[in-house]
């Protein structure tokens, strides 16, 4: 008769940091969010000088946030990020209702997006070369976010229908963007280049692309195929942070940021330009060419129309001012003075 053996090995309780990481991954938060949350929790523990996480109290949080704002002088968004990490830990790991915690919320200032006109955007893009030129062209010509452009894989570009498929973009949503016709030839050349890199990786015994954990487990036998490879791959192989296999990731966002700063200086554009500036400029150009607000919202992937209206509220004033000045100039030529 078969008798089942009962495992008597006690389950080890995960450490505090491991418990946080487990709660983050259960909710499928991004790796960047995981790194950020763990950074702020470790910082809080060091600053509070407590021996156990259970010793943390609301007063520790208040002193820590005041330290960030008054002594370190962090921005409101950074302070808010730290607060979100701490509230997450109290709610999901320490099992403390965050409503009983008393802490100040920092209000971020309302900013009008910085934009480039068509000539300025082209000046900056022309100062960039290779992969960075293609990435900037896609950002300006399609309105993608930087991470969405960097995560494009071989299967995401449709040259026949001239579309770009974004898999699990912001908000874990799939979206389809327009592929700028000016990037087609360069992208085809880039894909051929990536095929050569991928072939060398396979010959060396590697060839895996970096995939989310869920996709790795599902498609483990086929992730050496080319369509999983990033179009803008990193120059070095790396170890996957969760599953531990050797793979090739995409270009790091900071590398593109450095190239963009150099190009902006060389183009002598007197504005602060980031990767997101191209997205703002793309939306503005659509509106200036008569595209309706709903179409712009869909193209940008905004969940709330109010987010898209940031552009319309600003550029209605610009267009009105331009029309007013043009009318005023004509009337001044006719000798008619308009009181202001």
Q: Which residues are catalytic?
A: 145, 170, 276, 279, 302, 311
Structure tokens belonging to residue 273: 């330009």
Q: From residue 100, how far is each of 16, 82, 97, 104 by CA, in Å?
A: 22, 18, 6, 13
If phi over 0 gives left and psi between -120 and 50 gives alpha, with beta otherwise, what is residue 258? alpha
DSSP element (H, E) containing 202: helix 184-203
Contact 40, 82 (CB under 8 A): yes
SS3 280: helix
Structure tokens belonging to residue 238: 């790396």
> Could you give the CA distance from residue 167 to residue 173 in angstroms, rounded to a whole number?
7
Contacts 24+ apart (CB under 8 A), 98-106: 100/58, 101/58, 101/61, 102/58, 102/62, 103/58, 103/61, 103/62, 103/65, 104/62, 104/65, 105/80, 106/65, 106/69, 106/76, 106/79, 106/80
């Amino acid at each position: 008769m078969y008798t089942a053996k009962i495992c008597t090995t006690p389950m080890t309780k995960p450490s505090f940091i491991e418990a946080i990481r487990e709660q983050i991954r259960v909710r499928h938060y991004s790796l960047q969010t995981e790194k950020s949350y763990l950074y702020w929790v470790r910082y809080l523990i060091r600053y509070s000088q407590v021996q156990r996480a259970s010793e943390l109290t609301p007063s520790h949080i208040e002193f820590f946030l005041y330290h960030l704002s008054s002594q370190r002088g962090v921005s409101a968004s950074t302070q808010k990020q730290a607060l979100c990490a701490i509230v997450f830990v109290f709610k999901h790991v320490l099992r403390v209702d965050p409503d009983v915690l008393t802490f100040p919320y920092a209000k971020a200032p309302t900013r009008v997006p910085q934009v480039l006109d068509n000539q300025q955007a082209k000046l900056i893009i022309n100062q960039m070369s290779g992969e960075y030129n293609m990435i900037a062209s896609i950002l300006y010509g399609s309105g993608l976010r930087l991470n969405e452009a960097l995560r494009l894989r071989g299967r995401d570009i449709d040259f026949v229908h001239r579309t770009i498929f974004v898999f699990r973009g912001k908000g874990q949503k799939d979206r389809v963007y327009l592929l700028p016709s000016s990037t087609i030839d360069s992208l085809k050349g880039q894909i051929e280049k990536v095929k050569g890199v991928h072939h060398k990786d396979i010959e060396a015994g590697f060839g895996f692309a970096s995939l989310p954990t869920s996709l790795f487990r599902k498609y483990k036998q086929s992730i050496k195929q080319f369509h999983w490879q990033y179009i803008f791959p990193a120059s070095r192989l790396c170890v996957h942070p969760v599953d531990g296999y050797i793979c090739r990731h995409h270009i790091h966002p900071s590398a593109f940021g450095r190239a963009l700063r150099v190009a902006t200086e060389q183009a002598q554009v007197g504005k602060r330009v980031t990767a997101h500036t191209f997205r703002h400029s793309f939306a503005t150009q659509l509106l200036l060419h008569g595209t309706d607000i709903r179409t712009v919202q869909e193209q940008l992937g905004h969940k709330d129309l109010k987010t898209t209206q940031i552009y319309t509220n600003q550029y209605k004033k610009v267009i009105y001012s331009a029309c007013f000045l043009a009318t005023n100039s004509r009337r001044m030529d006719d000798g008619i003075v308009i009181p202001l």
